[in-house]
Structure 1
Amino acid sequence: MQPDWYPAWRDEAFEELTAKNARLEQDFRLGHWSRYDYDLTAGTLSFSDTAGLKVVSEIQISGSTSAKAGNWLWAWANSNLPGNLLGDAKLVRAFGEEKGIGDLAQAYVVDASGDLEALGWELTGAMVRVCNALGAYRSPRGEGGALYLVLKSIRWAN
């Protein structure tokens, strides 16, 4: 269930996310720090090296992938996640319901393409576009899954 324009819109959203993430890499060296930590209580994602904390970002949670289940689970449908980090995901759900886009409005999205990571990035790209976020970060999890975080603000720690 999706309107005719949705596949092109989703592809554009992914391209925008790729450009935004490239800018974050250039400006804040994301992807090059030796350590990252997310704190779901504080709603932050931080990057550091052996000298200490370097970059801090405020986050919202997009969703997660599960290799075992072969699907994506939107953050708004995951009762294990803190409610204060789900506002943007709920906006995406409302957008999906309003526009008739099943992938954005249903809790689970099955990985039909055989590329679960690509599915996670595509759906996170949709969230970044709908919520005008700065970019996104993927944190690998056990059993081949990942948690996708959307960056709302970012700053140098010092």
Structure 2
Amino acid sequence: MNPDWYVAWREEAFEQLRAKNKRLQDDFHLGSWSRYDYDLKAGKLLFSEEGVVKVASEIQIAGSTSAKAGNWLWAWANSNWPLELVTDAQLARSFGEQHRIGELTQDYLKDDDLNALGWELTSAVTRICNACGAYRSPPDDGVGLYLILKSVSWAS
């Protein structure tokens, strides 16, 4: 059970994320680079063209979706991720505990539209942590990874 205000709050968070991601698309051409790579040791997401890094972002991991499992798994519930990269997801969990928001505190959630669920939950984390945007890796073998963008800059 979620508080009455939560549905509207999450919808606002989603609209805020759409605006933030539009700005990142306009300013840094996110979504148009031919390649992306993430470096979990450095906590970075790198966008490149013809082998040259063009844009770099500091990241946190929100969570992932799995078509095979049919669910969303929070980053804080996945022991494969480095602890330093799940801090924002943990803050979302704490927010959920404080306000009794079930979907922010359950390890995993099932839904028929995992892409929509992933973006909605990622938008909640982005709002709670005041991040500058989010990125979802193209689903590979039915798995989508949702990343929180803490900062984005042109590579030097």
Give the aligned CA root-mean-square deviation in angstroms.
0.9
For 1:29 and 1:140, locate their aligned partners in 2 and report how far apart those are by CA, in whole Å.
16
Map 1:84-103; keep pairs closer than 5 Å. Answer: 84-103=84-103
What are the Cα deviations for residues 80-117 of structure 1, in whole angstroms up to 9, with x where unaligned? 11111011110000000000000001111111xx2110
Aligned partner (choices 115, 122, 132) of residue 134 of structure 1: 132
Q: Which runs of 4+ in 1 moved over 4 A?
A: none
Any unmatched runs of 5+ in structure 1? none
1:27 aligns with 2:31: no
For residues 19 and 143 of structure 2, what CA distance do their matches in structure 1 show? 24
Structure 2 residue aligned with 1:154: 152
Q: Distance in 1 between matches of 2:34 and 2:140?
A: 20
1:14 aligns with 2:14: yes
Deviations 1:16-74 (A, max 9, x none): 00000000000100001111101111100000101611000000000000111111000
Counterpart in the other structure of 1:2: 2
- Aligned partner of 2:119: which letter? W
With structure 2 as the length reference, what TM-score do the two structures score? 0.97
- 1 CA distance for matches of 2:62 and 2:33? 22
Report the TM-score when normalising by structure 1: 0.96
Whole-Å separation in 1 of the counterparts to 2:87 and 2:16: 21
- The aligned amino acid for 1:18 is R
Return the letter of the residue paired with 2:136. Answer: R
1:142 alignment partner, SS class: coil
2:78 is matched with: 78
Pick from 100, 115, 118: which aligns with 1:117?
115
Aligned residues: 156
Identity of aligned residues (%): 67
CA shift, 1:143, in A, is 2.8
| Structure 2 CA distance for partners of 1:106 and 1:51, relative to 1, 3 Å | closer
CA distance, structure 2, for counterparts of residue 130 and residue 109 of structure 1? 19
Q: In structure 1, the residue corresponding to 2:137 is in which secondary structure? A: strand
Correspondence for 1:144 = 142
CA distance in 1, matches of 2:117, 2:97: 19
